[in-house]
Structure 1
């Protein structure tokens, strides 16, 4: 398996891990009688602390999954993973680090850290697109 394919599957796996954590938190609240199962806001704005951060970290993954999957699947489908392999693990690491920063805190420092990891991902995606379009 190429680093590109591994990164794509790992991104999906990270997304599922966050989803399972979110399901655990929500199920725990429902089972404890603290919330009704149909009372959770998709945005997480009705939650506090870690649960709210987890909801937003999960949402951030699916907000970007389509773009990431499109670029990496294109590279795989056109047999151009040599163009994406070199930064595939860096991209994945930045994705996980962004989520981790989101889960830890939302103070100014962690928002800056989260944004820095997001910028790394965007720059890598732009670089990959330029390479895949043979513009560089």
Structure 2
């Protein structure tokens, strides 16, 4: 990666008027490669994969129903319960992932660009991915009270971790 792109990234994501020259982050090509394999980035990629995997499940069921003639392509209304219980839970689990992916993605990317990735940050991102998978599997298992409570536990863990990542970024960059 040449210096031109590194400078663009620095100017785009760092407020140089607020940072002294000594505080600015200097990215080398080696550091960019290391960031790409960081556990926080891997957790984000895992979250993206999980979201796409669930979406593929929804699309597969819908495509099968359309191709076999049991449904028309316009018979899958958004936000209105339709299909089997499992299909509806899969649909909702996919939507839950889509709703949380931007929050997680932005926190991880800000952490990368702010240079605050450390062992705790990386561990928390992995906990988020684990909690997301746990929440999804609980969602898909059933609608029982136990499954709903387990799903809610996964949700609370994720949001607690989101708040920690936000605090970590703000504290590490001396905003608070």
Q: Quick check: TM above 0.5?
A: yes
Q: TM-score, normalised by structure 1?
A: 0.94
Could you list the runs of 4 or more consecutive aligned residues of structure 1 that deviate by over 3 angstroms after TM superposition? none
Residues 34-113 of structure 1: matches in 2 within 5 Å? Answer: 34-43=70-79, 45-82=81-118, 83-113=120-150
Which has the bigger relative contact order, CA under 8 A and spacing at least 6? 1
Give the structure with the higher percent helix: 1
Which ranges of structure 2 fall in alignment gaps of 5 or more residues?
1-36
Which shows bigger deviation, 98-107 or 74-83?
74-83
* Residue segments in structure 1 that go unaligned for 5+ positions in a row: none
Give the paired residue count.
136
Q: Which has the higher Rg, Structure 1 or Structure 2?
A: 2
Using the size of structure 2 for normalisation, the TM-score is 0.73
Aligned-pair Cα RMSD in Å? 1.5
Task: Name the CA distance, whole Å, in 2 between partners of 1:133 and 1:10.
Answer: 25
